[in-house]
Amino acid sequence: MIGPLHHVGISTPDIERAIAFYTSHFGFEVIDRSNWGPGTTIRDRQLQAKDSIAEHAMMLREGMRLELREYRHPVGRPKAVETPAVDHGINHFCFTVDSVQVEHERLSSEGVRFDCEPLEVREGVWLTYARDPDGNIIELLSGL
């Protein structure tokens, strides 16, 4: 039997910047930090890489885990910061909020970039798309 989703993982070129973003804007806290270096056979097999090096941070907020990794070897390829939401693959993750309008205003004032203004997609159901510093899409959703 498959259980509930355990965490969402994000690869970032700057783990400190990503930690600062998710702690200050979304209220996550770091619950574990670790790293590994060359010769970590299990990680090399997992990543299909030789002599991998990475730093890891597991973050928690209200039961949701977010895993951040900065790969130092091999270095990952940057993705386009403005990748359209319609591109294939995992294209966003979503937080429910009390008010999309209030969070849009708060986060905008804190410098978070948005793809669109709050939109009413069904009567009383609102959403908007924000971007983290690496261009990952974060949906804010209210009214369900």
- What are the domain boundaries of the chain? 7-73, 93-142
> Is the Cβ–Cβ distance between 10 and 68 less than 8 Å?
yes
Average pLDDT over residues 61-90: 85
The encoded tokens of residue 54 equal 């990475």
Mean pLDDT score across all residues of the chain = 91
> Is the Cβ–Cβ distance between 54 and 69 less than 8 Å?
yes
Name the percent of the chain lying above pLDDT 70.
97
Asked if the model's pLDDT at residue 44 lies above 90, the reply is no
Q: Can you give the pLDDT at residue 81?
A: 63
What's the CA gap between 5 and 122, in Å, rounded?
A: 27
Higher pLDDT, 65 or 5: 65
Q: Can you give the pLDDT at residue 55?
A: 96
Low-confidence winner among 22-36, 61-75, 84-98 (lowest mean pLDDT): 84-98
Report CA-CA distances (Å) from 115 to 25, 76, 137: 17, 25, 9
Q: Can you give the pLDDT at residue 113?
A: 95
Asked if the model's pLDDT at residue 143 lies above 70, the reply is yes
Average pLDDT over residues 45-63: 93
Domain 7-73 identical in fold to domain 93-142: yes
- Please give the CATH architecture assigned to the domain spanning 93-142: Roll (3.10)
CATH code for the domain defined by 7-73 = 3.10.180.10
Amino acid at 13: P
SS3 letters for 7-18? Answer: EEEEECCCHHHH
Average pLDDT over residues 121-138: 93
Q: Please report the beta strands in the chain, taking only residues with DSSP state E, as ranges in sequence order.
A: 7-11, 29-36, 53-61, 64-73, 93-96, 113-114, 119-122, 125-131, 137-142
pTM above 0.85, yes or no: yes
